[in-house]
Amino acid sequence: MRPVSRRHFFYSAGTALTAVQATRVMGANEKVRVGIIGLGRRGTVHVRTYLALSAESEITALCDVNQAALEKQQTIVEQATQSKPKGYADMREVFADKDVDAVSMPLPNHWHALATIWACQAGKDVYIEKPACHNVFEGTKMIEAARKYDRMVQIGSQGRSSPNRQKAMQLLHEGVIGKLYMARGLCFNRRKSIGHMADTPVPPGVDWDKFLGPAPMRPFNNLRFDYNWHWFWDTGNGDIGNQGPHQLDIAHWGLGKPGLPLSVVSTGGKYIYDDDQETPNTQLATFDYGDAEIVFEVRGILTGSEGGISNRTFSPSVGDLFYGSDGWMSVGPASFQVYQGERGEKTVDEQAEDNQEVSHNGPHFQNFLKAVRSRNWKDLNADVAVGVLAADLAHLANISYRVGKKLKFDPQTMTFPGEPEANRLLTRAYRAPYIVPEKV
């Protein structure tokens, strides 16, 4: 299948543009004009956050394949600002809109890479949710596009903009618990069974073809459409690729190891439930870095908490634990603790100063807007390369799980030597015309 050319892309949106022509030079105090693409559950958070940042940004366009969701958010923005944003069903029209400087895209995982590449080619800066990409190949193309077109691409790893977590990471790097040998990521996120559901006709007002995009065409099923797309390999990556990239990013950040591991092994399964979910609800992954390791665990069924980490709202433990020669550290959603010595004496107990610390949405979006103005991608707290690394850890774990064995990995070639079945899962077969191109 032949990749969609940039010429075809821009003309299909109705306007012939180049990335340079589409880029606007902004003044230091000028508002960033934002188009939000994807108005589901996370999309409503994007709308609220940018409305709260109205001194720095302006929502000028909204886009969704679901007409009802689009119209609802248009009304919300209009009521808040007395100005109705443009509405689109096709993201390519947002990319071609000269009144949009940046796009914020809480899309399903399988759309992250292609949407980001298209936006970069159109001269738009990008905020894209985690995981950065749906597979390893896509992440390399996203980084290439961001650098080639000089775009700011922020990944939704909000913990990077948390002062609490920044302080915890600094202490780790300064040696507060000595030489680190292990980082554990905990994703004990309670997930109930999704049950079974029959295919149905596509609901009125929904463009199912555009929702599936790069994924294979399948009959409409609401389990594959409304949030539960996370639990199907076509569109999601399980909870290790959903909640997981947040804690994988913190684990890698704290451990201070560069790049990807030398080997990975992941086991688990879908236990207890008899339903349509494809991805595991219980998973254990170990990433070997030679003299240290990252261990990541997913538990979606009832379980206890660990390390004193409590999310208080819906999960026993979502966070990270670090182990070193002189002690250990527990890092939760809004606090961290340090325990030192043979007796495990608690020597540090830091709590977030305000509720915003838990979600980090406002500070992370503000950081993105700052980089849009500065035109320096190094100002981003979660630049695309950072987000891709966290996503790749999840992808490597899922590949090991799916092929059923431990795998050696070569970070230089980005392949599993001598493992053709595993290497096939580094990318996917794309459905024309929604193809992530080799050349961006």
What CATH number has the domain bearing residue 275?
3.30.360.10
Domain of 45? 6-159+363-383
**335 in the same domain as 217:** yes
| Mean pLDDT in residue range 34-40 | 98
Q: Average pLDDT of the chain?
A: 92
Residue 5 confidence (pLDDT): 33
What tokens appear for 119 in the block? 């936006």
**43 in the same domain as 112:** yes
**315 in the same domain as 374:** no
| Mean pLDDT in residue range 302-323 | 84
**217 in the same domain as 180:** yes
CA-closest candidate to residue 322, choices 267, 388, 256? 256
Residue 2 confidence (pLDDT): 32
**171 in the same domain as 100:** no
Q: For residue 22, what pLDDT band results from cuts at 50, 70 and 90?
A: low
On whether residue 422 sits in a domain, the answer given is no
**202 in the same domain as 125:** no
**Number of domain units in the chain:** 2
Residue 411 confidence (pLDDT): 96
Name the residue with tokens 């994807």: 38
**206 in the same domain as 277:** yes
CATH of the domain at 41: 3.40.50.720
**119 in the same domain as 27:** yes
**184 in the same domain as 70:** no
**402 in the same domain as 368:** no
Whether the CA torsion 219, 225, 229, 234 is positive or negative: it is positive
**142 in the same domain as 106:** yes
Residue 6 confidence (pLDDT): 32
| Mean pLDDT in residue range 366-370 | 98
Residue 360 confidence (pLDDT): 75
| Mean pLDDT in residue range 263-278 | 98
Could you tell me if 63 and 35 are in contact, meaning their C-beta atoms sit under 8 angstroms apart?
yes
pTM (two decimals): 0.93
